[in-house]
Amino acid sequence: MESIGVLLTSPMNPYLEQELGKRFKLFRFWDFPSADDFFREHSKSIRAVVGSSFIGADAQMIEALPKMEIVSSFSVGLDKIDLVRCKEKGIRVTNTPDVLTEDVADLALALILATLRRICESDRYVRSGAWKRGDFKLTTKFTGKSVGIIGLGRIGSAIAKRAEGFSCPISYHSRTEKPGTNYKYYPSVVELASNCQILVVACALTPETRHIINREVINALGPKGVVINIGRGLHVDEPELVSALVEGRLGGAGLDVFENEPNVPEELLALDNVVLLPHVGSGTVETRKDMADLVLGNLEAHFLNKPLLTPVV
Amino acid sequence: MLKGETPLPQNGHRRNSMAAITGEAEAEAPGVVFVHGSPPFGLPFKDRLLSRFQLIHTSELAESSHVKVMLCMDHTPVTSQTLHKLPSLECIVASSAGVDHIDLPTCRLRGIAVSNGSQAFSEDVADYAVALLMDVLRKISAGDRYLRSGLWPAKGDYPLGWKLGGKRVGIVGLGNIGSEVAKRLVAFGCGIAYNSRKKRPSVSFPYYADVCDLAANSDILVICCALTSETHHIINKDVMTALGKEGVIINVGRGSLINEKELVQFLVEGQIRGAGLDVFENEPIVPRELLELDNVVLSPHNAVVTPEAFEAMQELAIANLEAFFSNKPLLSPI
């Protein structure tokens, strides 16, 4: 398989990069001054693309790589892949579900706790020497608070299970009500937001869920409410979120994702009631290795004409 | 109740013998409570107390020789000198969870019952322990710092953290707080084991009589026990060596449960993976070396500081005081 051309879209994982280099003819997208430069030189060499939540395989790339047979995404999210076009052209698509579910759910809880109990702000308080001048302040209890989850898939369910350990009443919104849960269902996000204090985004990003957190939802959540986003930046109308936080119409936010990563609105950097993370949802040593192995396993299966491990298309 | 017969009485009040014989009710006047110290964060507590009890304050100590019960606020020290000035004292209701600021040996000698507030705080402290643990493993504070410094566009992705699921958690002290910690971490897929003074027969988690053995079989230690002369520096270099280089320590108990000098050395040298600390040996002083590390999360003794915890603490303290005056068992004797 050493002659098979594989394009790696970004430096997402050293182990993955290393293994791809051993098994295939690896092209690093970022080694080239521009996408056009790359396509001009190597468009006919690429039979597989390994994408990420940062750069996937959009229409332009698919059109530019006529020999592409498979896109293996180093993510569970598929919003950076033109699935319709892949289907049309018979291009296979795989992602990395399940292996990252626990870490992403853990991160949602970590963000809730850090935001409510002001852990990062407390740490800053100690490091700056302010503790020597006086006690910190009251923070918000988490146990027992109502948690509303948008999207009760693998990740949403895992978040619910963890929040139940803190005796939180759980409610949710999704496209359809899920049978077999004790959680309260709301048919709209606004109703969900009106009836919970902590609103967690845990659904896939699609054209329908773009800006699912908008001004109306934020106002329904209110000045004691907290938004937690471990989905995609585009789930949230970011300027609306920022102004609500700055004006105090929303109590706080824990954000792992942003509309235009790695750029983060400057106004957020000045706020103490937000926790801001550089997209670390699945970012553990253990899980990234599992994700990489899944990508490698899917590619191998494809080129050996075996069933794909985690096909989407 | 004879003095010295049991460690500490569960019910501090001894009715006067006349009332016991005649069956007459105690006088209608509200019970007199000596209030030692002030509520933390200037919280309004006095009004609730005044509606039920008559209060004497520290400044009026000279007139308090007849007082039978003390409400000890926050960590105001109750020394043998304090106790000496209260010869009629039968009960101390402490608002805080820890009671290491109270001269317990003298209380035992004199048969003074002591109750604490840990029931009121256990959920908040457990939440906080999990928050600190998640921060250390997933680098929340460090990642937030990185992002706020503008390094994400400049330097790229932040270094990876470590998965919590499947890790072995060793809880040192499985009391109110330790049990709540265990319950939460089970939902994250952690294995739980514990050490405490005695094995708890109703608990199914594996028990280790020796903290070093617990550490050797754990990836994470969560310190939730009370500070006593036996538990002083219970976490020392032997325990940390047993825990190993990938070990994480979370302390929501008291600073002196850990040999802080040795902890600092282990962290600086990378002999353990990281630590989340809400308490220190000499608060508010934090060892300078820790301020420079990215693998520690530092907190200004804030685990109990929520409005709900203080509300519950006040209610519990009042309930203990009312139990005392009605000759009923204290709700939360230590």
- Calpha distance A300→A74 (Å, rounded): 15
Same domain, yes or no, for B110 and B171?
no
Q: What angle do helix axes B176-186 and B118-138 make, rounded to 10 degrees?
A: 40
The whole-angstrom distance between A161's CA and the closest CA on chain B is 7
Q: Are residues B194 and B218 in contact, defined by beta-carbon separation less than 8 angstroms?
A: no
Tell me which H or E stretch contains A93: strand A92-94
Average confidence (pLDDT) over A224-238? 98
B190 is a domain residue:
yes
C-beta atoms of B188 and A144 within 8 A: no
Same domain, yes or no, for B94 and B146?
no
**Closest Cβ–Cβ partner in A126, A261, A269 for B299:** A126
- Looking at beta carbons, which residues of chain A come within 8 Å of B40? 135
B334 is a domain residue:
no
Output Rg (C-alpha) for chain B, integer angstroms. 22
Same domain, yes or no, for B196 and B289?
yes
**Closest Cβ–Cβ partner in B135, B153, B300 for A263:** B153
C-beta atoms of B186 and A162 within 8 A: no
| Per-residue pLDDT reduced to its tens digit, A65-81 | 999 999 999 999 999 99
Tell me which H or E stretch contains A303: helix A285-303
Dihedral angle sign, alpha carbons of residues B122, B127, B131, B137: positive
B27 is a domain residue:
yes
- Looking at beta carbons, which residues of chain A come within 8 Å of B164? 102, 106
Same domain, yes or no, for B130 and B240?
yes
Same domain, yes or no, for B285 and B150?
yes
**B44 close contact with A: CB closer than 8 A:** no
B68 is a domain residue:
yes
Same domain, yes or no, for B127 and B105?
no
Window 145-164 of B, Cβ < 8 Å to A: 145-148, 152-153, 156-158, 160-164
Other Cβ atoms within 10 Å of A44 Cβ, number: 11
Active site residue: A63, A69, A259, A261, which one? A261
Same domain, yes or no, for B206 and B321?
no
Exposure b/e, B256-285, CB count within 10 A at least 16 = b: bbbbbebbbebbeeebbbbbbbbbbbeebe
CATH of the domain at B75: 3.40.50.720
Same domain, yes or no, for B291 and B319?
no
- The bridge status of strand B69-72 relative to strand B91-94 is parallel
Q: Which domain holds residue B58?
A: 13-117+307-325
Preferred mutation among B132, B134, B273, B285 to probe A, highest tally of A CBs within 10 A: B134
Q: Is A279 a catalytic residue?
A: yes
Q: Are residues B33 and B57 in contact, defined by beta-carbon separation less than 8 angstroms?
A: no
Window 276-295 of B, Cβ < 8 Å to A: 283-286, 291
Question: DSSP for A34-77?
Answer: -HHHHHHHHGGGEEEEEE-SSS-B-HHHHHH-TT--EEEESSS-
Closest CA to A175 of A184, A183, A185: A185
Higher confidence at residue A2 or residue B16?
A2
Predicted local distance difference test score (pLDDT) of residue B97: 86
Same domain, yes or no, for B158 and B250?
yes
- Looking at beta carbons, which residues of chain B come within 8 Å of A123? 135, 141, 297-299
Active site residue: B90, B254, B262, B273, which one? B254
Active site residue: A47, A162, A173, A232, which one? A232
- Looking at beta carbons, which residues of chain B come within 8 Å of A109? 130, 134, 188
**A117 close contact with B: CB closer than 8 A:** yes
Q: Are residues B218 and B242 in contact, defined by beta-carbon separation less than 8 angstroms?
A: no
**Closest Cβ–Cβ partner in A106, A122, A279 for B138:** A106
Looking up tokens 């209380």, which residue turns up?
B107
Average confidence (pLDDT) over A165-182? 96
> What average pLDDT does chain A have?
97
The whole-angstrom distance between B165's CA and the closest CA on chain A is 7
Query: What count of CB pairs under 8 Å joins A to B?
Result: 176
B330 is a domain residue:
no
The whole-angstrom distance between B182's CA and the closest CA on chain A is 10
**A139 close contact with B: CB closer than 8 A:** yes
Q: Is B63 a catalytic residue?
A: no
C-beta atoms of A110 and B134 within 8 A: yes
Predicted local distance difference test score (pLDDT) of residue B5: 41
Same domain, yes or no, for B140 and B174?
yes
Predicted local distance difference test score (pLDDT) of residue B28: 60
Predicted local distance difference test score (pLDDT) of residue A280: 97
Same domain, yes or no, for B155 and B255?
yes
Chain A residue closest in CA terms to B292: A127
Same domain, yes or no, for B320 and B259?
no
Predicted local distance difference test score (pLDDT) of residue A313: 85
- Calpha distance A147→A186 (Å, rounded): 13
| Per-residue pLDDT reduced to its tens digit, A257-281 | 999 999 999 999 999 999 999 999 9
Determine the length of chain A. 313
Active site residue: B283, B289, B308, B311, which one? B283
Active site residue: A28, A85, A154, A279, which one? A279
Other Cβ atoms within 10 Å of B101 Cβ, number: 18
Using alpha carbons only, give the angle A134, A139, B121 rounded to the nearest 5 degrees: 100
Give the model's confidence band at A286: pLDDT under 50 very low, under 70 low, under 90 confident, else very high.
Answer: very high
Give chain A's end-to-end CA distance (angstroms, integer).
Answer: 23
Closest CA to A295 of A76, A88, A105, A144: A76
- The bridge status of strand A170-173 relative to strand B54-57 is unpaired
| DSSP state at residue A199 | E
The whole-angstrom distance between A80's CA and the closest CA on chain B is 18
Dihedral angle sign, alpha carbons of residues A13, A16, A22, A24: negative
Tens-binned pLDDT, residue by residue, of chain B (334 aa): 334 344 566 655 444 444 444 444 445 678 889 999 887 777 778 888 989 999 988 777 666 678 999 999 988 999 999 999 899 999 999 999 889 999 999 999 999 999 999 889 999 999 999 999 999 999 999 999 999 999 999 999 999 999 999 999 999 999 999 999 999 999 999 999 999 999 999 999 999 999 999 999 999 999 999 999 999 999 999 999 999 999 999 999 999 999 999 999 999 999 999 999 999 999 999 999 999 999 999 999 999 999 999 999 999 999 999 999 999 999 999 9
Predicted local distance difference test score (pLDDT) of residue A94: 98
Q: What residues form DSSP beta bridges with A28?
A: A8
Chain B residue closest in CA terms to A164: B187
User: What are the two backbone dihedrals, phi and then psi, of residue A225, each rounded to the nearest 5 degrees?
Assistant: -85, 160
B8 is a domain residue:
no
Exposure b/e, A282-298, CB count within 10 A at least 16 = b: bbbebbbebbbbbbbbb
- Looking at beta carbons, which residues of chain B come within 8 Å of A101? none
- The bridge status of strand A46-51 relative to strand A70-73 is parallel
Predicted local distance difference test score (pLDDT) of residue B8: 66
Predicted local distance difference test score (pLDDT) of residue B57: 83
C-beta atoms of A119 and B147 within 8 A: no
* Distances in whole angstroms, Cα of residue A197 to Cα of each of A107, A111, A148, A253, B188: 18, 14, 7, 11, 22
Reduce the DSSP state of residue B78 to 3 states and report it: strand
Q: Are residues A125 and B300 in contact, defined by beta-carbon separation less than 8 angstroms?
A: yes
Q: What is the largest CA-CA distance in chain B?
A: 84
Torsion of the alpha carbons at B309, B313, B315 and B317, rounded to the nearest 10: 180
Active site residue: B108, B110, B301, B322, which one? B301
State how many domains chain B has: 2
- Calpha distance A121→B255 (Å, rounded): 21
Predicted local distance difference test score (pLDDT) of residue B107: 97
B264 is a domain residue:
yes
B226 is a domain residue:
yes
**A14 close contact with B: CB closer than 8 A:** no
**Closest Cβ–Cβ partner in B138, B156, B189 for A280:** B138
pTM: 0.92
C-beta atoms of B127 and A113 within 8 A: yes
